[in-house]
Amino acid sequence: MPDDEGHPAVGEIELGSVLTALADPLRRRVVRVLAAEPDGTARTCSSFALPVSKATVTHHFRILREAGLVRQVSRGNSRMASLRRTDLERRFPGLLAIVAAEPEE
Amino acid sequence: MPDDEGHPAVGEIELGSVLTALADPLRRRVVRVLAAEPDGTARTCSSFALPVSKATVTHHFRILREAGLVRQVSRGNSRMASLRRTDLERRFPGLLAIVAAEPEE
């Protein structure tokens, strides 16, 4: 079962949910940015400077979190997101590399 | 430019369109079935026995064709679909293997 914050366990990460999450260009941008950072990097959602409202940013991160692409944790007053690189590589080898290789729009 | 039937050239195949096409479970089923066949296999759309109306089948194959996942050609009175395996492997190495590995629902 997903944990209290909606993170699926690694074995629960489903291809359909991951592909649906990655079908959106802004969500791919988040994954691409995180994939280019050192493993374990955690960033605030606002640091991605997505060109949408705060509510929409929250929505996009919920989709990413519930699909199993990012892990979100609270640190002080901030909500930080990191890429579930190892889990994703185990479930869908090569998928992150494909997303990371997409040219910036 | 895409050809008269809406097939993008290999260099025009875009990750966003491919992921959008693959986000749907019935479209993934078509790709998974074709990926399990010998390279170059062409099948009629009806042979996939998708549990939806003929109009919806046509819609799904249009999405797959315009994304660059399948190539559709007319043979006599039939419309045959084949997987663009080489083109996809060139653009997004490993993606077909990920889709092919998904368990049947």
Instruction: Check if B15 contacts A (Cβ < 8 Å).
Output: yes
| A15:B92 CB<8 A | no
- Structural domains of chain A in order of their starting residue, each with its CATH number: 10-99 (1.10.10.10)
Q: Could you give the CA distance from residue A82 to residue B27 in angstroms, rounded to a whole number?
A: 30
Question: Strand ranges (DSSP E) for chain B?
Answer: 42-44, 70-75, 78-83
Instruction: Check if A52 contacts B (Cβ < 8 Å).
Output: no
Q: What pTM was computed for the model?
A: 0.94
The tens digit of pLDDT for each residue in B34-73 reads 999 999 999 999 999 999 999 999 999 999 999 999 999 9
Smallest CA–CA separation between A47 and chain B, in Å? 23
| Nearest alpha carbon to residue B63 among B15, B24, B102, B93 | B24
For residue B105, pLDDT over 80 is answered with no
Instruction: Check if A12 contacts B (Cβ < 8 Å).
Output: no
Q: Which residues of B touch A19 (CB under 8 A)?
A: 19, 22-23, 28
| A19:B16 CB<8 A | no
The tens digit of pLDDT for each residue in A42-58 reads 999 999 999 999 999 99
